[in-house]
């Protein structure tokens, strides 16, 4: 539904984490320490383990372009009952948080949405809040219609028609499998890094010896 064919190009993000735990990122390979975190070449490494998630989690924690989008991400997550960490992972893999990204296939903005899929114009989808809200709605619909987030992500990347042709399962398309792998790996890493929810209630169990009297 969201893409009739695999995207041919995505923004690149190069980076490394130094000895102090600081993540350094750039749109190009500045020197030999930088390795490709996001981009077509990185996606094509998969199947096979991609170990870029830790550096991306660090970057997502302090990058100004991520922080400025947090209100929209929270709004979209609440409105469409979708995990905010999943939205972050999709955006990181799709556009590296470049709100102005437009693919050769015409997918637009942060979540790389085709205007026809969201019933919105290119100009509307270049607005970050509009793009995130539309993407969250579309992704929540895909999750409801498909068995598992992995298949929903495959439909996001390759199109629902392609998923249906393969019996509602993950299609054997290397680019699609790479895309799903990257999003899920980053999503899991973000979940692991998320602080535990604060305690809001206290329940005291009765003393068992007293309760038995």
Catalytic residue annotation? 94
**C-beta of residue 14 within 8 angstroms of C-beta of residue 34:** yes
Distance, in Å, from the CA atom of 158 to the CA atom of 177, rounded to the nearest integer, reads: 10
Q: How far is CA 13 from CA 40, 109, 166, 181, 204, in A?
A: 10, 16, 32, 17, 50
Cis before 47 (ω within 30): yes
CA triple 198-80-107, angle to 5 deg: 120
Contacts of residue 74, defined as CB under 8 A and 6 or more positions apart, other chains included, come to 84
Would you state the structure tokens that stand for residue 23, as one six-digit string? 């993540």
DSSP output for 151-185: HHHHHHHH-HHHHHHTTTS--S-HHHHHHHHHHHH
Is residue 15 within a helix (H) or strand (E), and if so which, with residue range? strand 13-17
Contact assessment for residue 177 and residue 46, using Cβ atoms and an 8 Å cutoff? yes
């Amino acid at each position: 539904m969201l893409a009739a064919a695999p995207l041919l190009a995505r923004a690149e993000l190069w980076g490394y984490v130094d000895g102090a735990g600081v993540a350094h990122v750039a749109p190009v390979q500045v020197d030999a320490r930088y390795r490709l975190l996001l981009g077509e070449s990185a996606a094509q490494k998969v199947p096979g383990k991609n170990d870029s998630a830790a550096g991306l989690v660090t970057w997502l924690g302090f990058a100004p372009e991520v922080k400025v989008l947090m209100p929209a991400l929270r709004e979209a997550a609440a409105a469409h009952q979708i995990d905010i960490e999943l939205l972050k992972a999709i955006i990181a893999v799709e556009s590296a948080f470049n709100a102005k990204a437009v693919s050769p296939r015409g997918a637009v903005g942060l979540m790389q949405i085709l205007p026809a899929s969201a019933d919105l114009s290119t100009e509307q989808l270049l607005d970050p809040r509009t793009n995130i809200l539309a993407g969250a709605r579309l992704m929540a619909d895909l999750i409801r219609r498909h068995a598992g987030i992995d298949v929903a992500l495959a439909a996001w990347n390759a199109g629902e028609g392609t998923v249906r042709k393969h019996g509602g399962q993950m299609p054997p398309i290397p680019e699609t499998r790479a895309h799903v792998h990257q999003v899920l790996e980053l999503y899991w890493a973000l979940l692991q890094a998320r602080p535990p929810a604060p305690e809001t209630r206290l329940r005291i169990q009765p003393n068992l010896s007293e309760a038995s009297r």
